[in-house]
Structure 1
């Protein structure tokens, strides 16, 4: 399982609770899309996950920025994922362009704190929301499971463990 979280906004702890904490501990890999805020928070995530793939966000301090890239590309379940906190201008167009520049099938992004799955364009966009500071949205994260023939099934899940959206991202062509 790949667990995706973002926007922790903490100065001292990972602020993981409930299903989100369990998902981070159970995951083969965890992607954090930035705004840890402090190096101690990044350390706390590293302690809870077996493999952390993070990027820094606009609110991260120098310690986090020195340890993580602004963006990264990786593969999971035969799909190419491009991860970033945000792209200048926001919205679908800059995020899609970011994904196309990296030959990505999926762009993972944070910043808005709004859980979002959008497969309407050339590149699928996924924002897990914020598990710790939802700002008027549901406190959430994303969980992705590899399908037998490639691609993933996914879900947006609340901290309490309620799935509120499910989706499939087919194998790359």
Structure 2
């Protein structure tokens, strides 16, 4: 399973709890759309992702609220291959739906994961699936959330879940191109 997190906006801890914490610990790959805020929060999330036997990769991008030393360590865009799918990860503050769709086309990606709005959502465009995992810790009037991409025998399922485990939304993907 690939787990996507975003917009933690923490000062000291990962702020992961419930199903979100379990998913991050059990994932094959963890992605974060930025706005950890501090290096300490980035390291805490990396440690939880790495707590699985053999460690789990953490792919992350800089957000517009990350402290300068952290932002300098992180790229603005990351491309990840998972289960045969190409996934592009961005924070989203420099993009609208059209530019995200064009970025997917440019990168040959089936999925774009972008944060910034704190609003968990899945939207199909002509070029890709746009996924916003929301914020597990700072939902700002939205439901707290994270995303889980699970490979199936044919295709995959992406689910948006709350830390309590409630399903917010889901989408089934056909086989990757």
TM-score range, shorter chain: over 0.9
TM-score by length of 2: 0.92
Cα drift, residue 35 of structure 1: 0.2
Q: What do residues 101-130 of structure 1 show as CA deviations (whole Å, max 9, x unaligned)? A: 211111100000000101132211000000
**1:93 is matched with which residue?**
98
User: Residue 121 of structure 2 contacts residue 169 of structure 2 at CA under 8 Å; is this kept in 1?
Assistant: no
Aligned length: 171
Q: Secondary structure at the match of 2:31?
A: strand
* Equivalent-residue separation in structure 1 for 2:153 and 2:22 (angstroms): 24
Q: 1:15-62 CA deviation, whole Å, 9 max, x = no partner?
A: 111111111011011000000011001100111002211111001112
Say which of 53, 56, 61 aligns to 2:67: 61
Residue matched to 1:16? 16
Shift of 1:172: 2.3
Name 2:78's counterpart in structure 1: 72
Check the 8 A contact 2:33/2:62 in 1, yes or no. Answer: yes
2:147 is matched with which residue?
142
Q: Distance in 1 between matches of 2:60 and 2:127?
A: 24
Whether 1:162 aligns to 2:166 is yes
Q: Provide the aligned C-alpha RMSD in A.
A: 1.2
Match of residue 113, structure 1, among 86, 111, 118: 118
Unaligned runs of 5+ in 2: 50-55
2:119 and 2:137 mapped to 1: Cα distance? Answer: 12
Distance 2:157 2:100 in 1: 21
C-alpha distance in 1 between matches for 2:151 and 2:135: 23
CA distance in 2, matches of 1:148, 1:19: 24
Q: State how far apart, in whole Å, the 2-side matches of 1:120 and 1:43 are.
A: 34
* Misfit runs of 4+, over 6 Å: none
**Secondary structure, aligned partner of 1:148:** coil
User: 3-state SS of the aligned residue for 2:138?
Assistant: coil
Work out whether residues 3 and 30 of structure 2, in 8 Å CA contact, stay in contact via their aligned partners in 1: yes
Give me the whole-angstrom Cα distance separating, in 2, the residues matched to 1:87 and 1:104: 19
- The 3-state SS of whatever aligns with 1:36 is coil
